[in-house]
């Protein structure tokens, strides 16, 4: 029930991780893997999934996260990920005679369900103990004799704890008399979890059903744009790079995480001998200056080196 562990802030996956290809788009379905790629490899992606309770909203999207072909190629080249044909892999897994993998998949879901139920019971027990402690502190400070004071329900204190989410119903906890509830609070032990009360887990990914990743991943991205060398060059320099459609460029370049920094460059890649219209350079320079960014042009030489040029529009 720890949010940091649920989102995978300290998660270290087994490499390589799968990048699913669905309809020619490269998707990450596991939120922990998406968090890991952003933290360790500066791959942000764009969330394209809608929330189950608000399918028509388009402001706060969720998983899966879509990444650019350039990002997928970079991860594959460096052995961090491999490309997985989602439809073919699931079809093979569902029709496979390998019953062991399916049994392991179902067992892992049941294990997650048990762990969630145990964590929820522990959280309720902790809330109950906090309520008992708060009641004892309040009783100690109260100058009115206990027999003359109005009886207070212990459950009212549970609802007013600092988290505000303590439940009045504490399933699986041994009931105790109010007179000795404080003494027995530390010894109350949750009873065995019944199968009827077990939370049913719906996994967000079916990774365990999929084939084992290849031992020697190979670059498998076809039809990469000519700007890929520029993207790889900027990534090697430590920049975060996101799609630049909103600014009329190919990449928006950030010096750090886009959640903390404004972008510094509007980047456009080109081949070494590709002719470039001068008006495009002027327009890019004016646009970049207008939004307080630099206009960056770059490309790879025949030797493989990448050169970049920054254009800024300045008044005479």
**H helices of 3-98, where?**
3-7, 31-41, 69-77, 86-94
Look up residue 35 and give its two tokens: 């968090």
Cβ neighbours of residue 204 closer than 8 Å, sequence gap 6 or more: 29, 30, 31, 63
Residue in 258, 263, 253, 262 with CA at minimum distance from that of residue 297: 253
Please check whether residue 121 is in contact with residue 193, taking contact to mean a CB–CB distance below 8 angstroms: yes
- Asked about 99 being catalytic, the answer comes back as no
- Asked about 235 being catalytic, the answer comes back as no
- Asked about 254 being catalytic, the answer comes back as yes
Q: Following CA atoms 130, 135, 137, 141 in sequence, which dihedral angle do they give, to the nearest 10 degrees?
A: 160
Among the options 82, 239, 254, 264, which is catalytic? 254
- Do the strands 62-67 and 81-85 form a parallel or antiparallel pair, or are they unpaired? unpaired
- What 8-state DSSP symbol labels residue 199? P
Q: Following CA atoms 213, 218, 220, 226 in sequence, which dihedral angle do they give, to the nearest 10 degrees?
A: 140
Distances (CA, A) of 168 to 1, 164, 248, 277, 288: 19, 11, 55, 70, 58
Q: Active-site positions?
A: 254, 262, 293
């Amino acid at each position: 029930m720890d949010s940091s562990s649920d989102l995978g802030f300290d998660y270290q996956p087994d490499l390589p991780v799968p990048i699913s290809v669905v309809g020619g788009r490269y998707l990450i379905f596991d939120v922990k893997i998406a968090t890991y790629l952003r933290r360790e490899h500066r791959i942000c992606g764009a969330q394209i999934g809608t929330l189950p309770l608000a399918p028509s909203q388009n402001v706060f999207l969720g998983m899966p996260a879509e990444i650019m072909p350039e990002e997928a190629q970079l991860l594959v080249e460096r052995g961090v990920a491999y490309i997985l044909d989602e439809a073919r892999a699931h079809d093979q897994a569902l029709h496979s005679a390998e019953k062991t993998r399916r049994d392991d998949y179902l067992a892992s879901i049941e294990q997650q369900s048990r762990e969630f139920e145990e964590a929820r019971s522990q959280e309720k027990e902790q809330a109950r103990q906090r309520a008992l402690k708060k009641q004892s502190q309040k009783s100690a400070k109260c100058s009115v004799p206990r027999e003359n004071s109005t009886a207070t329900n212990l459950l009212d204190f549970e609802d007013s704890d600092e988290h505000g989410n303590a439940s009045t119903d504490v399933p699986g906890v041994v009931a105790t008399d109010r007179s000795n509830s404080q003494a027995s609070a530390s010894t109350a032990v949750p009873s065995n979890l019944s199968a009827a009360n077990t939370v049913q887990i719906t996994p967000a990914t079916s990774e365990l059903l999929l084939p084992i990743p290849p031992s020697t991943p190979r670059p498998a991205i076809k039809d990469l744009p000519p700007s890929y060398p520029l993207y790889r060059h900027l990534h090697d320099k430590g920049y975060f790079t996101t799609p630049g459609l909103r600014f009329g460029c190919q990449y928006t370049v950030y010096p750090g995480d886009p959640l903390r920094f404004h972008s510094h460059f509007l980047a456009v890649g080109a081949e070494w001998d590709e002719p470039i219209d001068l008006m495009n350079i002027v327009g890019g320079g004016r646009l970049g200056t207008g939004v307080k960014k630099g206009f960056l042009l770059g490309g790879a030489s025949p030797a493989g080196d990448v050169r970049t040029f920054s254009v800024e529009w300045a008044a005479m």
